[in-house]
Structures are given as C-alpha cells and as structure tokens.
Structure 1
C-alpha cells in the first residue's frame, strides 16, 4: 500500500510539471499568434491591450481546459492497467 501511495505521489508531481510546461508552451504559442496577427493585419490601437484581451479570452477557452487531460488520461490508463492485472 505504501508503494502505491509513493507511486501516486510521484505521478502527481511529474504530471504537475508536465502540465505547467504544456500550459506555458501553449500560452506562449497563443501570444505569438496574437502578436503576428497584430503585426500583419490590425496595426491600429494599443498592441499590448489587444494581446492582453486575447490572452484573457484564451484563459477561458476550451483549449486551456483540455490541457487538464494531462492529469486525466494517464490516471485512467494506470487505473485500467491495475484493474486488468489484478482482476482478470
């Protein structure tokens, strides 16, 4: 039982690091896209305000929430493997 708890704790730590990295990467890609859109198409008004509004919209988007799959999918896979190994 202690080994399982240690495994789960390590798994949560690793998944948190992966989640933070993917989240920062995705936000940086979105920021670059907004900057490119501003430079190529808009060029009027406040650039920083445009990027800030775009990132606020991104924070509430479905894509941002899908990144939480970093936690859900591995946990489902591990639970399925544990079930199959022990009960079939």
Structure 2
C-alpha cells in the first residue's frame, strides 16, 4: 500500500509539473496569436488591453479546461492497467 501511495505522489508531482508547463506554453501561444491578430487587423486602441481581454476570454474557454486532461488521462490508463492485471 505504501508503495502505491509513493507511486501516486510521485506521479502527481510529475503531472503537476507537466500541467504547469503545458499551461504556460498554451497561454504564451495564445498571447502571441492575439498580438499578431491586433497587429494585422485592428491597430485601433491599446494593444495591451486587447491582449489582456483576449487572455481573460481564453481563461474561460474549453481549451483551457482540456489541459486538465493531463491529470485525467494518465489516471484512467493506470487504473485500467491495474484492473486488467489484477482481475482479468
């Protein structure tokens, strides 16, 4: 039991690092796209305000929530492997 808890804790830490990296990368890509969009199309008003408003919308988007799959998918895979190994 302690081996599983140690494995689960290590996995959670690794997945947290991966989640933070993917989240920061995705946000940086979105910020770049918003900046390029403003440069090419809009050019009226404040660029910084436009990008910040776009990032606020991004924070509420489905794409942002899908990044939580970093936790869900590995847990389902490990659970399935454990079930198949022990009960089939």
- TM-score, with structure 1 as normaliser: 0.99
Question: C-alpha separation between the residues in 2 aligned to 1:52 and 1:62?
Answer: 18
Structure 1: 5+ residue runs without aligned partners?
Answer: none
C-alpha displacement of 1:75: 0.2
Structure 2: 5+ residue runs without aligned partners?
Answer: none
Stretches of 4+ aligned residues off by more than 6 angstroms:
none
C-alpha displacement of 1:69: 0.2
SS in 1 for 2:45: coil
Question: C-alpha separation between the residues in 1 aligned to 2:41 and 2:60?
Answer: 24
Partner of 2:12: 12
SS in 2 for 1:45: coil
Question: C-alpha separation between the residues in 2 aligned to 1:33 and 1:77?
Answer: 33
Partner of 1:40: 40
Question: C-alpha separation between the residues in 2 aligned to 1:8 and 1:37?
Answer: 42
C-alpha displacement of 1:40: 0.6
